[in-house]
């Protein structure tokens, strides 16, 4: 074990080939089996999200897909990203989507027109893209293994240090972008309300004029 680690640190260029000798396709580790099972759940939930005809169920299956992705991040030892995923996606984005569904008066039951007419074309495009991407990715990374032993690669300590040492300027720019998005969302919703009020006043004036 120490010999393999020493060899790995000595020759970084040959790490993947050396690792390929110790790993096998037909002997998956426990982490790989867990990743595969959670990945199947995630993918199934994503498929149900884009195919179900009940709009609220789509949002709830999206919770399952995003939570499964958070578990995948945990299995990849990226803890901080996993909890950020849980907080932001499962906590706020899905709640926002549910609010949007309710504010646009989405039907509760099955809605027959959830899918548009170009469904076969979309299916063909998605299947072609999936086939191409999966083929290219498996062909490119056939002999590449992630080393998950040792300290976690994405603990809060590591992520915070790299974020505030090397990525401070993008971080601050992102805070400005979030502020702009906040103001933009408020302006958009306020303007719509003012429009509705002025339109109501216009129609009232019009009807009074015709009378």
Partner 1 sequence: MHLAYPAVLSALLFCTGLYGVLARRNAILVLMSVELMLNAVNLNLVAFDVWLSRTAEDTLHSGQALALFTIAIAAAEIGIGLAIVLAVYRNRGTSDIDKLRDTAEGHEPDGPDSDTTGRAVPGSRTAGEKAEATA
Query: Which residues from 79-108 bind partner 1, rule CB under 8 A?
Result: 80-81, 84-85, 88-89, 92-93, 96-97, 99-101, 103-104, 106
Using CA atoms, how far residue 111 sits from 47, 96, 99, 103, 114, in Å, is 18, 21, 18, 16, 6
- Which of the residues 21 through 60 are near partner 1 (CB under 8 A)? 23, 25, 28-29, 31-32, 35-36, 39, 42-43, 46-47, 49-50, 55, 58-59
User: How far apart are the C-alpha atoms of 196 and 209, rounded to whole Å?
Assistant: 20
Interface with partner 1 (CB under 8 A), residue from 125, 157, 172, 204: 125
- Which of the residues 180 through 199 are near partner 1 (CB under 8 A)? 181-182, 184-185, 188-189, 191-196, 198-199
User: How far apart are the C-alpha atoms of 67 and 61, rounded to whole Å?
Assistant: 10
Interface with partner 1 (CB under 8 A), residue from 7, 108, 170, 172: 170
Query: How many amino acids of this chain bind partner 1 (CB under 8 A)?
Result: 103
**Are the C-beta atoms of residues 49 and 101 closer than 8 Å to each other?**
no
From first CA to last CA, the distance across the chain in angstroms is 92
Nearer CB in complex with partner 1: 138/211: 138
């Amino acid at each position: 074990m120490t010999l393999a680690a020493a060899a790995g640190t000595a020759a970084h260029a040959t790490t993947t080939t050396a690792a390929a000798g110790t790993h096998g396709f037909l002997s998956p580790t426990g982490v790989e089996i867990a990743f595969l099972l959670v990945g199947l759940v995630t993918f199934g939930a994503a498929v149900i999200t884009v195919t179900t005809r009940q709009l609220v169920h789509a949002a709830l299956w999206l919770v399952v897909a995003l939570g499964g992705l958070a578990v995948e991040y945990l299995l990849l030892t990226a803890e901080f990203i996993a909890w950020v995923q849980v907080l932001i996606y499962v906590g706020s984005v899905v709640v926002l989507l549910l609010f949007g569904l309710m504010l646009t008066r989405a039907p509760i039951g099955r809605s027959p027109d959830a899918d548009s007419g170009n469904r076969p074309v979309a299916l063909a495009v998605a299947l072609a893209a999936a086939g191409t991407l999966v083929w290219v990715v498996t062909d490119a990374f056939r002999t590449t293994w992630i080393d998950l032993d040792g300290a976690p690669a994405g603990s809060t300590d590591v992520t915070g240090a790299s974020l505030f040492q090397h990525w401070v300027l993008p971080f601050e720019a992102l805070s400005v972008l979030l502020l702009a998005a906040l103001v933009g969302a408020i302006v958009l919703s306020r303007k719509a309300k003012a429009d509705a009020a002025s339109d109501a006043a216009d129609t009232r004036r019009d009807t009074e004029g015709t009378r």
